[in-house]
Amino acid sequence: MIDVFPFAGYPVALYGLDPAGLYTARALHAGQAELSAWDSDPQIRASAIAADIPVKDFTADDFREFTTLVVSAHAWETDSAARTLATRALEQNLEVICDVELLARTQREAAYVGISGAYGKSLTAAIVTYLLQVTGREGEMAGLSGTSALNTDPLGSEGVYVVEMTPFRIAHTVSITFDVAVLLNMDSAMKRAEALQIFHRQTEPRAAVISIDDKASQAIFKKLAKAGEQRVFPISIKQIIRGGAFVKDGTLYDSFDGGEPVVVMDLSIIPQFAGPHAQSNVVAAFATVRALGVEPHAAMAAINSFPGLVDHREEVEKIDGVLYINDAASTSLDCVASSFQGYENIHWIGGGDEICNGVEAIKDVSLQIKGAYLFGPAGAQLARTICGNFPVTVCENLEAAVQAAAQGDADTVIFSPGCLSANGDDFRDLVVTLPGIRDDEE
């Protein structure tokens, strides 16, 4: 845990005591801040009290008794009161910040990599961190989705924090100038001004790594490249480029020096990197560590040995010759379709509570799907939409879907929900209990 010592003796309000918020509260409390923490959920407050966190309802108070309001990312996304409180705090001249800002104020000597985008942040951050660690740098991944950025170790001047930056975190982090700032992609929900903030104050030798595969990101690349204030490196999985890195036909190329592109490695032969979404994450991670001074051959060796990230194409078990893969991090149908790359004869388990959009991506890979086992409201909606493309079984819940998928004659069972509400831990636990002969038992 990071000890947030700069706030010792200062009155700080924290809103949102979900697991990440609770960890942030512990770090502030350990740093001897005069903490008042609150959450609208009484059960969550009870958990905080049990953890000896000073819980106090400050929401009706005059905020001028505090110096700072810290808001958890989860509360910002799910609790409208968080935004109302932030507005009031700003009106009363309080700063409103997040966990990453707390990290920045305590670990000022370390270097920082910030990774932003509509999707792919977690896997890219994991690959960057692993590449740094394997090639001799002290790297820590901070603020993986659903976790506090303070749930890490203190690093010195040789250390690098690799931080997953959501729009909320970008807007509420004011002290970091990223040594490398990465923009993976943009969608209609991301505003250009918000995306540009991650590159704020960057000057040489700091670097921007930007995908040019969507028009909005490409416009930001052109703007920064024209200004010439920092080093700017383009990345792509759709086109050949100079001065950055790209993937063509599954092969990773390095063109950082602006000359003829140099082959780095064939990603298509690595199952977890066979699809375009995973390859876009790899090329971004490769470009990031190149910007930090890692040599191409060293990065290549590290990519080859990357063990994977939990919930990203995680091979859970091979039972009676059937491989079970946990890809719970695929929370959009585009990502689901990508997760099927490199596999055939698939039994797909998907669905959950959230409604899914973008079914055309699934139809495009329908020949790889032997059968689909869909659960929850999202599963029922999907079943109606994709009916006729491949056999579909609607299941009551995830457990029923796993049991049904295990009865078929698939080569691979992939849990790839396509929505935000499914749990990879639950899938893993269910697979472990399935009967049959494991590979290591033969």
Question: Domain containing 413 — which CATH number?
Answer: 3.90.190.20
Residues 145, 290 within the same domain: yes
Confidence class of residue 441 from pLDDT cuts 50, 70 and 90?
low
**Rounded percentage of the chain residues whose pLDDT exceeds 90:** 66
Within a domain: 16: yes
Same domain membership, residue 274 and residue 176: yes
Residue-level pLDDT at 313: 76
The answer to whether residue 1 sits within a structural domain is no
Whether residue 212 is found in the same domain as residue 122: yes
Residues 341, 435, single domain; the answer is yes
In this prediction, residue 440 carries a pLDDT of 59
Q: Quote the pLDDT of residue 211.
A: 97
Name which residue leads in pLDDT, 158 or 355. Answer: 158
- Rounded to whole angstroms, the Cα distance separating 135 from 112 reads 17
Whole-number Å distance between alpha carbons of 7 and 29: 9
In this predicted structure, the answer to whether residue 15 has a pLDDT above a threshold of 70 is yes
Q: What is the pLDDT of residue 355?
A: 66
Identify the domain boundary among 281, 304, 327: 304
Same domain, 246 and 162: yes
Residues paired with 393 in a beta bridge: 373
| Enclosing domain of residue 132 | 101-304
* 381 within domain boundaries: yes
Whole-number pLDDT of residue 43: 92
Same structural domain for residues 195 and 212? yes
Tell me what pLDDT residue 338 has: 72
pLDDT greater than 80 at residue 422: no
Asked if 27 and 132 sit in the same domain, the reply is no
Say whether both 93 and 133 belong to one domain.
no
Highest mean pLDDT (candidates 222-231, 266-275, 343-352)? 222-231
Q: Does residue 3 form part of some domain?
A: no
Q: Does the structure show a pLDDT above 90 at 297?
A: yes
For residue 75, how many other CB atoms are within 10 A of its CB?
27
- Give the tens place of pLDDT for each residue, 365-415: 888 898 999 999 888 888 888 877 788 999 999 999 999 999 878 899 999
Examine residue 2 and state whether it is found in any structural domain, yes or no: no
**Structural domain count, the chain:** 3
Residue 258 has pLDDT above 90, yes or no: no
Closest CA to 121 of 309, 302, 293, 352: 309
β-pair partners for 266? 251
In a shared domain, residues 137 and 219? yes
Tell me the torsion sign for CA atoms 259, 262, 264, 265. Answer: positive
Same domain, 76 and 167: no
How far apart CA 344 and CA 410 sit, in angstroms, is 9
Return the number of other C-beta atoms located less than 10 Å from residue 424's C-beta.
Answer: 18
Instruction: Answer yes or no: is pLDDT of 356 > 80.
Output: no
Beta bridge partners of 183: 116, 210
- Asked if 319 and 390 sit in the same domain, the reply is yes
Q: What is the CATH number of the domain that holds 273?
A: 3.40.1190.10
Predicted confidence (pLDDT) at residue 8 exceeds the cutoff of 90: yes
pLDDT averaged over the chain? 90
Considering only residues 278 and 67, tell me which one the structure prediction assigns the higher pLDDT. 67
More confident residue, 308 or 227: 227
Verdict on whether the full-model pTM lies above 0.85? no
pLDDT tens for 65-91 read 999 999 999 899 889 999 999 999 999
Residue 266 lies in a domain: yes
**What pLDDT score was predicted for residue 324?**
92
CA angle centred on 142, ends 138 and 144, rounded to 5°: 130
Q: Are 154 and 288 found together in one domain?
A: yes
Q: Is 215 inside any structural domain?
A: yes
DSSP secondary structure string for all residues of 361-408:
HHHHTGGGEEEEEEEHHHHHHHHHHHTTSS-EEEESSHHHHHHHHHTS
Query: What is the C-alpha separation between 52 and 417, in angstroms, rounded?
Result: 37
- 38: domain CATH number is 3.40.50.720
The rounded distance, in Å, linking the Cα atoms of 194 and 284 is 20
pLDDT of residue 58: 94
Distances (CA, A) of 129 to 18, 113, 160, 409, 413: 25, 10, 8, 38, 29
pLDDT per residue over 178-195, tens digit each? Answer: 999 999 998 776 788 888
Asked if residue 50 belongs to a domain, the reply is: yes
Examine the fold and report which residue of 80, 97, 114 is the final residue of a domain before the chain moves on: 97
**Which of 62, 97, 132 is at the close of a domain?**
97
Q: What's the chain's Rg over C-alpha atoms?
A: 23
